[in-house]
Amino acid sequence: MTGTALVTGASSGLGAEFAVQLAAAGYDLVLVARDEARLQALADRLGGAEVLVADLADPTSRLAVEQRLTDDERPVDLLVNNAGYGTAGEFVDTDLDVLAANHEVNVTTVLRLTRVALPGMIARDRGGVLNVSSVAGFLPGRGSVYGAGKAYVTTLSQSLARVVAGTGVHVMALCPGFVKTEFHERFGQARTGPGFAWMEPDYVVRTALADFANAKALSVPHPLYKGIVVFARVAPLGLIRRIARRSATGRG
């Protein structure tokens, strides 16, 4: 499937890598993020792309993205909900407005953009939504609301994959572990754990797109993280919580 792909959080990290690999696969691109300069630089590097500047934590700014997804004259065939918002510190110590912004980006935006995109895709009998979630959603632990939001995204995506089955439309959750991007640095976390646990963005995206093409509802790159997901599903919750308390929080 090719056509037009809209990628949120496209200015860096996994979003930029999705843009690169989708462009190479023949997609036209709509690149969404807050940083116009970075988006334009990426668009130029790819030989052209539509740039849509939006702050997904702001419902008014996000409306422009929703309207682009419902533009029947310029249909979007693939929505990649990649934008993410991380916070450091405990829930009770984090400013309420920061928590609300996190929820807007990680949960509300995924819900709204997926909801506005799917009806047109179903009517056209083609299309898909790839939601970037996280292995953190399988591991309840310390921190604020990142893992909770990702648990929602994973469950929503897997449920919708069943809802749209047989329509020509597919929905998938991508659940990576630690990825070598700017994500942790933005909220002051150093890279922890062994080096082999940190994946390159190109590997994560390549795996995700292959799994999406094979109609998987859940993509977990790397054997290490596949094992963690299996463990999280069968181990007693108390044991998982004890392990999670000793682990670093953040995207993973």
pLDDT score for 252: 36
Q: Give average pLDDT by consecutive 10-residue segment, the chain, 252 residues.
A: 93 96 98 96 96 97 98 97 88 93 96 98 98 88 81 97 97 90 56 64 96 97 81 59 48 36
Q: What is the CATH number of domain 4-245?
A: 3.40.50.720
Contact (Cβ atoms closer than 8 angstroms) between residue 122 and residue 133: no
With a CB cutoff of 8 Å and minimum separation 6, the contacts of 178 are: 191, 193, 197, 198, 199, 250, 251, 252
| Planar angle of CA 117, 122, 128, nearest 5 degrees | 55
With a CB cutoff of 8 Å and minimum separation 6, the contacts of 129 are: 78, 79, 80, 81, 114, 117, 118, 121, 157, 160, 169, 170, 171, 172
Active site residue 85: no
For residues 250, 144, 208, 129, the Cα torsion angle rounded to the nearest 10 degrees is -150
pLDDT score for 250: 37
The structural domains of the chain, with segments of one domain joined by +, span 4-245
CA 46/CA 24 separation, integer angstroms: 9
pLDDT score for 248: 41
CA 118/CA 62 separation, integer angstroms: 17
Among the options 27, 85, 146, 152, which is catalytic? 146
Query: Could you give the count of Cα atoms lying within 13 Å of 231 in the half-sphere of its Cβ?
Result: 15
Q: What is the pTM of this model?
A: 0.88
pLDDT score for 139: 81
pLDDT score for 137: 86
CA 64/CA 69 separation, integer angstroms: 9
Q: Which of 74, 184, 186, 164 is nearest to 115 (CA)?
A: 164
CA 204/CA 18 separation, integer angstroms: 9
CA 37/CA 26 separation, integer angstroms: 24
pLDDT score for 227: 80
